[in-house]
Every structure is written in structure tokens, then in C-alpha cells.
Amino acid sequence: MASLKEIKGRIKSVKSTQKITSAMKMISSAKLHKAQNMVENFLPYERQLTRILGNYLAAEETYTTPLAERREEIRRVTLVAVTSNSSLCGAFNSNIIGMFAKTYKEYLSQNVEVEIYAIGKKIDDNIRKNYQGVELRNGFNALIEKPEFSAAKAIVDTIISDFLAKRTDKVHFLYNHFKTTSVQVPTDETFLPVSLDGIGTENSLNADYIVEPSRNELLDVLLPKSLRTKFYSILLDSAAAEQAARMVAMQIATDNAEDLLKELSIQFNKQRQQAITSELLDIVGGSEALK
């Protein structure tokens, strides 16, 4: 049985940990609010671009693009996995790492070459530790702390260039989608080839625009721009999901610390009462012996 001194030490340690988890929850809450503002500020632009693109596609039903080419034989794929740079955010990272491992093994079993973009320190470290000899592109961890459109554009342009040159036949994006503060959905999304069906159909007006020089030339410009904004929105989405996951994890840790403090306090009081009772019995026994 633990002594009173040991229980005091544990109570002090738990209180110290509780202060840290509580502070981390407050920091994550502030960062989540900032990330949500960034998403909300960017969404109108992305939705409007998608709506315009949908209108043009609806008016130009015969439009074709190499970015939508579905190749019969998949010889090489690109996996873009997005995690966080740090831990203490529940299953946020492990969900993506597990999804990546499953997808990677499936393609390997089909003798398909896999190229990997690791965005986030956690997925980067995991791949370099567990997957020796893979073709890994990394060095993008700064995008997790501070998503930048110019950097996202550079990555997407490289991916598009590889797809058009047939250096890759399919591109997956693996990331956590922010649904609510308590729910982050691990998502495996096919980025390329792009699906032209359903783009902007919800808000499409089927307007008959007069376009110069032509609708096809404009679509050739709008579609890559749409892909760039899509990737940037994924980075913002993942950033919000990370802070939400960390906030919930720290809240749970703080609540668990409170429950543990209650148990330790009860244990401490029992131990102290037992010690007092023993001392009283010794005193009574000593006084009886002197009579």
C-alpha cells in the first residue's frame, strides 16, 4: 500500500499534468477558432469557382480534358498523405497512417508503383521508419503550421505535370475532414483523374455564357485552378480537424485527471485516517499499560 508521502507526490504530479492539459486545450481552442475563420474566409471563393466551372461544364457537354483521362492500366499511383507535425491529438494521426498503410499495401499487391507525398512530420517519420526504399517526397511540414496557397499551388502543379506526362496514373489524397468539433472523418479522395460529373451541379444555373476566346480554353484554365484551390482547402480543413481533435483529447485528459485526483484524495484521506487511528490506539494502549 502506498504511503501518504507517495500519494501526496502523485496528487502533485496529476495536478501539474492537469494544468498542462487544460492550457493545451485553451490553446487548441484558440487555434481552432483561427483555422475555422480561415476556412470560412476561403470557402466563398472555392464555392464560387466551383459554381462557375459547373456552369461552363453544363453548357459544354462535349468538353474533354487530359486531367479526366481514366487509364485502363494503372502502373503508378501517387499518395498524398496529410497529418500533423505533433501528437497529443487522439487518433488524428493514427487514422491517416493506418489508411495510408492499407492503401499502400493494396497497390503493392497489384504490382503498382507508389510515389508518396508526406505532408506532416508524423506521416513523414512513419514512412521513413517503416517503409524503406520508397519514393518519398517530403519537406512540406511547414504547410501544416501555416498553410500557404503558393506552396500548395507548387505541389499541385507538379502532380498535374506528372499526371499529364503519364509519370503517374492516379492520385489519392488522404486527410482528416473536419465535420464537427468532436468528429474528424478520415478521407481517401481521388484527386486525379478528375471527375467532371457533378462539379458545381448543386448551384449550377446552366447559364449560356458568351465566352472569348472559347469555353474550352477557359475550362482548361479554370480546371487546374479548381484543383489548386481544392488542395489548399484540404490543408485548411486538416488544420481545423487537428486543432479540434487536440482540443477534445486535452479535454478528456483534463477530465480524467480530475477523476484521478478524486480517487487519490479519497485514498489519501483513508490512509491518513488509518494512521491517526493507529496512533490513537498506540496512545490508548500505552496509557492502559501504565495503569
| Alpha carbon distance 11, 28 (integer Å) | 26
CB contact set of 37 (below 8 Å; sequence gap of 6+) = none
Query: Which residues are known to be catalytic?
Result: 89
